[in-house]
Structure 1
């Protein structure tokens, strides 16, 4: 094994070991906003069974949340370490993910959650937040403002509602900039159309067929 590969192996193992030995904070997240507990209660009239199912559901979701944070910490640790080590490690993060059977996009989602989780005071707000809002918050231009709201006691529900309100507002569209096509060229466009189609690749033919069907549907209205 080369010196570089050995260094990478040791670095990655140290990152994982560090995460494993760090004592997980004993905390049970409220799952009411994640799961509709009434659906569980409707399963049976047996209160003992219902209580057991709710208890196990709580344990299951808490385990998933804690695992998501731990995985995010591992991926972030490895990514940051390799990124700061210069060009000699270019591409090694993706190769390491592949060796561990982890999709790059999946790892990125864990990293986003962990990075947000690590900079807020009210960690539960990020821990239980649905991924689509984590993605939105992570890429939000006003992210610092939302982080400030969370750090000042903002709940998960308050932050999500703010994000919902923002995404519900349609962007102002300048319609005169949308249409960038000279319809007067349509007649010449379809000259020798069959010959043009013959010269297309199979994938291009399928793509053309899809668009032509859409055009036909619009023109029939």
Structure 2
């Protein structure tokens, strides 16, 4: 492999690594936001009669526990899994159409066609594995939640089930949210929804108008959804505006011009003035 090709490969690798770091940091902040209040309440309950001099100790314990929980959840988010479920095998085939659009990125930054195709294949494999994993786990968690969670199961049985399987409640909630949108949209939209990030899923569920638009649409691209969420573009129906033209007897104008000498001067001047104004408007 030539030095030029190696340098290009390194540049691509570093670019993707930076993108992954940014995505991980966004996810870390989302997890921290979800967990902080929960852990803070737990620790405050433990130290409800705490002395003022012990407050620093409480703060340190909160930060340490939060750090460990975030680390655990980030590990859970990137665990790969293969699926033999036919429903998801079919989905993976459909998703490839959307993935191919994203993979054109490598055509733009890599001149070596062989390396470009290699990176496309490996990116596609990783993406499809991740998509299948998220939706499979979301589907399973949703089935258990519907069975236990909504019934107010005794002794927090749903939460115990979640913890037994090595997850946190907030992680499985994100997966369930992704599955909720996926199962609710038209089949044509499913491949697009499968490629959404957890952050995009969260934004959709928080905005009732966007959610209803996506649920009711028959055709939407990934870029359409991104535009909706970024508020850069609004997908609005085209409304035909009919212009009401008042009925007008043009014969009267002709008669006026033929008999202009017989019309009272003041009236005649007013009509000429109005006709000049109309003429100017037409010429603008």
TM-score, length-scaled by structure 1: 0.56
1:161 aligns with: 227
Partner of 1:129: 196
User: Structure 1 pair 53/22, CA: closer, same or farther in 2 (3 Å)?
Assistant: closer
CA distance in 2, matches of 1:75, 1:146: 23
| Mapped contact 1:117–1:123 kept (Cα < 8 A) | yes
Give the Cα–Cα distance (whole angstroms) in 1 for the partners of residues 219 and 203 of structure 2.
Answer: 20
Go from structure 1 to structure 2 and tell me whether the alpha carbon gap of 1:138 and 1:70 turns closer, same or farther (over 3 Å shift). Answer: same
Which of the numbers 69, 78, 102 marks the counterpart of 2:135? Answer: 69
- Per-residue Cα deviation, 1:112-141 (whole angstroms, up to 9, x for no partner): 010000010110221111221110101212
User: Does residue 24 of the first structure (1) align with residue 88 of the second (2)?
Assistant: yes
Q: Which has the higher helix share?
A: 2
Whole-Å Cα distance in 2 between the matches of residues 83 and 101 of structure 1?
Answer: 18
Number of aligned residue pairs: give it: 145
Unaligned runs of 5+ in 1: 1-18, 168-221
Deviations 1:19-61 (A, max 9, x none): 976553323323256567338953xx54323312211211110
| 2:214 is the alignment partner of 1:146 | yes
Mapped contact 1:69–1:113 kept (Cα < 8 A): yes
Q: How does 1:114-125 map to 2 (within 5 A)?
A: 114-121=179-186, 122-125=189-192
What RMSD in Å do the two structures reach over aligned CA positions? 2.9
Q: Which runs of 5+ in 2 are unaligned?
A: 1-82, 234-284
CA distance in 1, matches of 2:108, 2:159: 41
User: Whole-Å Cα distance in 1 between the matches of residues 231 and 152 of structure 2?
Assistant: 42
